[in-house]
Amino acid sequence: MFVRPFHLSDYASITHLFGEVLSESCYEETMEAFAKQLTLDPELVLVSVMNDDIAGIIIGTIDQRNQGYYYRIAVAPAYQRKGIGKSLITGLKQKFIQRKVSKILITVDVHNEPLLPVYEAVGYTDNNFSRSFRHLRIVSGR
């Protein structure tokens, strides 16, 4: 298993993965934010590859205040509970550190609230959870 930046050739696999693991409303929101992030800064979209399959994806972004945000993470059912999510979080954290962000935050909404324990398992706390992220360009479009 390895983590790498998203490639355009991953698109079909990613849309299938999102459709498999996200609710309909989460899928729509995520696809919109995903498209915006790809135009803004595709280097903050990472995928995990296992056995030549896309096992997971994480979408990150950096706001106007130079704060890094984990926006959405998704792992294929066949690869869940195998450390894929933690690897994606760690990979994106390294990108944020390279970019010298002032703070790293996790967006919290109804769709990813159940995933907070995964972030806690890699060392994040309540201080890193942000429920006010509507200002992000990938969400608001501004």
Report the CATH number that the domain containing residue 54 is assigned in CATH: 3.40.630.30
Q: Where is average pLDDT lowest: 5-9, 63-67, 98-102, 128-132? A: 128-132
Query: Per-residue confidence at 140, pLDDT binned at 50, 70, 90?
Result: confident
pLDDT in tens, 74-90: 999 999 999 999 999 99
| Measured CA angle at 91 (ends 108, 17), to 5 deg | 65
pLDDT for residue 141 is more than 80: no
- In terms of C-beta density within 10 A (0-12 exposed, 13-18 middle, 19 or more buried), how is residue 47 classed? buried
Spatial separation of the C-alpha atoms in residues 135 and 115, rounded to whole Å: 22
Our count of domains for the chain comes to 1
Spatial separation of the C-alpha atoms in residues 80 and 124, rounded to whole Å: 20
Neighbours of 106 (CB within 10 A): 22
Query: Per-residue confidence at 142, pLDDT binned at 50, 70, 90?
Result: low
CB 53 within 8 A of CB 109: no
Spatial separation of the C-alpha atoms in residues 54 and 46, rounded to whole Å: 10
| 64-80: average pLDDT | 95
Q: Which residues pair with 4 in a beta bridge?
A: 47
DSSP letter, residue 101: -
DSSP letter, residue 35: H
Three-state secondary structure call for residue 84: helix
pLDDT in tens, 11-30: 999 999 999 999 999 999 99
- Cα distances from 104 to residues 47, 68, 99, 128, in angstroms, run 19, 5, 11, 7
- Domain encompassing residue 13: 2-140
